[in-house]
Structures are given as structure tokens and as C-alpha cells.
Amino acid sequence: MARRALGPATLAAVRAVESSLDPSDGCLLVACSGGPDSLALARAVVTVGARRTLPIAAVVVDHGLQQFSADRATETATTLTTLGFGDVTVRTVTVRSTGAGPEADARLARYRALDEAAATRDATLLLGHTRDDQAETVLLGLARGSGTRSLAGMALRSGPGARRLRPFLALPRSVTEQVCRENDLVWWSDPYNTDPGYARVRVRQTVLPTLERELGPGIAEALARTAVLARDDADLLDALAAEADPGTSTLACQVVEGLPPALGRRLLGRWLRLEHGAPDLNAGHLYAVEALVTDWHGQAGVDLPGGLRVRRTDGRLELVRPDR
């Protein structure tokens, strides 16, 4: 790629990537869909890799869910090669139904492929989520009513071995689009991103613009800031819950009773998820399970998603599957 002066948006993107890196980061692997966010990320990584003499690579995931998806993946790979990536891989995945919905199923297949690509290269996987994506995630978490953790949004680092890195969480989507314009990069617009059948699209197209109009500008930035604060609080509560967790298959009610309510509910959630793999818990589920401890009057138990039931026996909580 011919050298040219960095435009202001490109410079902001480069700085965002540089400031997010740790000394332990080696190979930088960009997940690129061909959209403006991931193309802007790829452009920034080219500069950062050269400045820091770090190896760079890119991976494009073809979900096979749309006509000509293979052609678009190949076109994106070609663009990445033109940008300066010598190591570009297209990975085709099979999206299997899990009952969680097509968006969640595609995300599961995508991350599995991306994590495998990162592990193969011992690389840090860079994702192009922006401040706008973070704001949308916080609003969706608020709608679920699942507590502080759901408001924490996406972490800067996450995933297996904390390999996933999101450098653009403080940058608005308008900046990534401007990066593409500054570098003559033509992005692809996924039609799923404008389909109102998806809750995230309705948040993006209707909810956030309405909030901006009625409450004033800066809503996305405020929501992203809320995510940072909520994550700090959630991390502290999780750490305290881990200390209080006896690590047993059943949980003594007196252990929960001796904790402040916020910490007690966090311990219950940890016990249900880690000890028993209970999926998709919301605040209503936790309040109902908590009542088995704090408002016990002989309830039969609490039914949870996945065909699970929590019941109280001899002062202890246990998880059972009534259909077995």
C-alpha cells in the first residue's frame, strides 16, 4: 500500500489501536466482515503493525447465509491484501440452530471460527465494535432487566485467554466510516443491519435517534460511559461472590442469608451458572430463587430456562431436572 499522510479519522483509529495494546500482544489478527468498522480497524492495524514491527493477519468469516456470500468474502480478502495484509484467511462456517435465534447462532459460529484462528496463530483477535455498538448493547441489556452485568456491555478484552480486543469502543461509527473515505475503501453494507426484525436494528434505527432527539445529543457516549462504570461494579461484585462461593453442588441457605442482597443474588447467579450451567437467567429468575432463601414458606421450587428447577430441601438449595 502506497504511503500517504494519515487523515484525522485514520489517525484517531490508529491511536485507539495503539492505546489498547498490551506488551503481551504479538500477532494482531483482524476480524473483517467488509463493513466500515472492520475495514477501518484493518487500515489502522496496518499502520500499528508497521510502527511496532508486529505481525498482522486477517480473517474473513463466510456464514453462508446469503446469496453470493462467498464472493463478498473473497472481495473483502482481496481488499485486505491490497491494504497490506500478507496473511488473509477466509473461513466458511456452518450456522446450526440452537434455539437462541439466527443472530445468536451466527455469532456463535463466527466466534468459534475466529477464536480458533487466533489460537492457531497465538494472536490477539481485534474486533471492530464501536461506541455506537456499545450503546446499543447497553440498551438491549437494560431491556432484559438482568442487572449490572447486562449494563456492562462489551469489554475491551474478553473471550478465551482474553484474546479478543475491541479498540474502537470509544470511537463513534461516524469515525470508522470517515476512515474508509479517507483511504478510498468501499465498504459492504450487510442487509441484516437494516432489518427491523432484529431488536438491535430497531435500537439503532429508532430508539437511539429518538433518545437523541428528545433528550439531546451525547446519548451514545453517555451509555458507553455507563457501561464502563457498570463493568467496574460488576467485576467487584463477581470477585466478592467468588470469594463467598463454597463451590458445592448444593448451596446452604445460611451462606446466602449472611450476605448483603446484591452480593447474595450475585452468588446465586454464580452458583446457578458455574455449578449447573443454567442458561439465560434474568433478574426475575434470581429474585424468585432468592425468595427460596429470604421468603421461605414451603414453595415447590423455581423453574428456570433449560428445563431446570431450583428447590429448597433441609436448608439447602439444589438444582434438579423435573423431566428426568
The per-residue pLDDT for range 291-306, each reduced to its tens digit, is 999 999 999 899 988 7
Amino acid 106 reads A
Distance of alpha carbon 310 from alpha carbon 27, whole angstroms: 45
Per-residue model confidence as pLDDT tens digits over 138-181 = 999 888 776 788 899 999 999 888 899 999 999 999 999 999 99
316-320 and 308-313 strand pairing: antiparallel
Look-up of cell digits 423435573? 322
- Domains of the chain, with CATH numbers? 8-214 (3.40.50.620), 245-320 (3.30.465.60)
| 98, 105 Cβ separation under 8 angstroms | yes
Q: Is 33 annotated as a binding residue?
A: yes
Q: E strands along the chain, which residues?
A: 27-31, 56-62, 88-92, 123-126, 157-158, 164-165, 251-252, 302-304, 308-313, 316-320
Q: Is 150 annotated as a binding residue?
A: no
Mean pLDDT of 284-296: 93
Per-residue model confidence as pLDDT tens digits over 40-90 = 999 999 999 999 999 999 999 998 877 788 999 999 999 999 999 999 999
* pTM to 2 decimal places: 0.87
- The C-alpha cell that represents 122 in the structure block: 497465538
pLDDT at 14: 98
Q: Is 20 annotated as a binding residue?
A: no
Burial of 99 (0-12, 13-18, 19+ CB in 10 A): exposed
pLDDT at 308: 87
